[in-house]
């Protein structure tokens, strides 16, 4: 295999990894902070891409559709957290039941509204070109996705480490009770973080639409990969989610090329190896596992 083709596969893997990062980051922080495994997180991805699809059909244009879709998905997240999840904090089994049920409802709702045949979100026209990269052509859109992912990672890293909000989140992951005892309005923190997590997953959905396609069932595939990333990367850190996502994205994409029949299996083998060496994940804080 020529190095240029390998290079392209690596870029593809990175693009996929970035999409996963956007979902896993929210999932990881929500899990770390609120101790909720949000099994309905894939629904935000699904919501993001399908809403954007309908808006693009209305000639709204890709970028406006993207923003509107993210706002709507974040709103959905707020409603979900305020009216449903809030009632089950600290009750693990009920959370599983609730979020699992919600994922069924959302997936079936999407099936009902948009049908079951696979749809595709068109690549925005401004990025619908291929760039010449040392002899091979690579779609500019995928490079754009990688760029967005990296920018987001830097932004989130900055927020986590250099701002007051980040300090609150870090403190919350380590000790929730102490945080509220210090006079932080933990309800507002929870709702906002949940909304941000939903928005990130929605963004991932919109950006992923032109690459991954749209079909019901992708939500659970993506959710499972993201959960693996959370386990591999460790709870409650953006950094863990980022490194974990790149790892999973690359292994998954390169695995598809080299060992097509063992693709998903390889991802899980990585998870098991990481768990054997570092039970709390690569960057886990260790308090919750």
| Of 91, 128, 131, 154, the one binding other proteins by CB under 8 A | 91
| Nearer CB in complex with other proteins: 87/162 | 87
Confirm or reject binding of residue 287 to other proteins (CB under 8 A): no
* Binding residue (CB under 8 A) for other proteins from 104, 161, 175, 182: 104
CB 245 within 8 A of CB 238: no
Name the strand (E) or helix (H) holding 132.
strand 130-133
User: Which tokens is 101 given?
Assistant: 């049920």
Q: For other proteins, which stretch binds (CB under 8 A), given 16-24, 190-198, 237-245, 255-263?
A: 255-263
Long-range contacts made by residues 50-56, C-beta under 8 angstroms, separation at least 24?
50/110, 50/113, 50/114, 50/119, 50/205, 50/214, 51/202, 52/121, 52/205, 52/206, 52/209, 53/114, 53/119, 53/121, 53/209, 53/214, 54/114, 56/121, 56/122
- How many angstroms separate the CA atoms of 277 and 272, rounded? 9
**Cβ distance 214 to 118 under 8 Å?**
yes
Q: Is 188 in the site for other proteins (CB under 8 A)?
A: no
Scanning 9-17, 65-73, 187-195, 219-227 for contacts with other proteins by CB under 8 A, the matching segment is: 219-227
Q: Determine the size of the site formed for other proteins (CB under 8 A).
A: 48
Q: Whose Cβ is closer to other proteins: residue 203's or residue 230's? A: 230
- Minimum CB separation of residue 66 from other proteins in Å reads 27
Residues within the interface to other proteins (CB under 8 A): 31, 35, 37, 39, 84, 87-88, 90-94, 96-98, 100-105, 107-109, 111-112, 220, 224, 227-228, 230-231, 260-265, 267-269, 271-272, 275-276, 279, 288-289
């Amino acid at each position: 295999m020529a190095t240029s083709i390998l290079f392209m596969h690596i870029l593809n893997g990175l693009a996929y990894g970035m999409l996963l990062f956007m979902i896993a980051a929210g999932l990881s922080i929500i899990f770390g902070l609120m101790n909720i495994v949000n099994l309905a997180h894939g629904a935000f991805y699904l919501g993001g891409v399908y809403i954007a699809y309908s808006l693009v059909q209305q000639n709204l244009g890709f970028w406006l559709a993207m923003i509107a879709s993210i706002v709507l998905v974040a709103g959905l997240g707020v409603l979900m957290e305020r009216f449903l999840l809030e009632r089950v904090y600290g009750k693990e089994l009920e959370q599983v039941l609730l979020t699992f049920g919600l994922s069924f409802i959302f997936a079936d709702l999407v099936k009902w509204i948009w049908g079951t045949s696979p749809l595709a979100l068109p690549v925005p026209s401004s990025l619908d070109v291929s760039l010449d990269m040392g002899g091979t052509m690579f779609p500019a859109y995928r490079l754009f996705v990688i760029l967005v992912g990296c920018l987001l990672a830097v932004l989130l890293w900055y927020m986590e480490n250099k701002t007051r909000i980040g300090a609150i989140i870090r403190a919350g992951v380590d000790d929730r009770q102490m945080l509220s005892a210090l006079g932080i309005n933990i309800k507002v923190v929870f709702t906002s973080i949940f909304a941000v997590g939903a928005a990130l997953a929605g963004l991932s959905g919109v950006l992923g639409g032109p690459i991954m396609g749209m079909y019901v069932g992708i939500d659970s595939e993506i959710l499972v990969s993201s959960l693996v990333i959370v386990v591999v990367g460790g709870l409650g850190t953006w950094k863990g989610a980022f490194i974990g996502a790149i790892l999973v994205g690359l292994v998954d994409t390169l695995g598809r090329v080299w060992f097509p029949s063992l693709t998903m299996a390889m991802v899980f083998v990585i998870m098991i190896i990481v768990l054997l060496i570092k039970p709390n994940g690569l960057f886990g804080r260790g308090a919750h596992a």
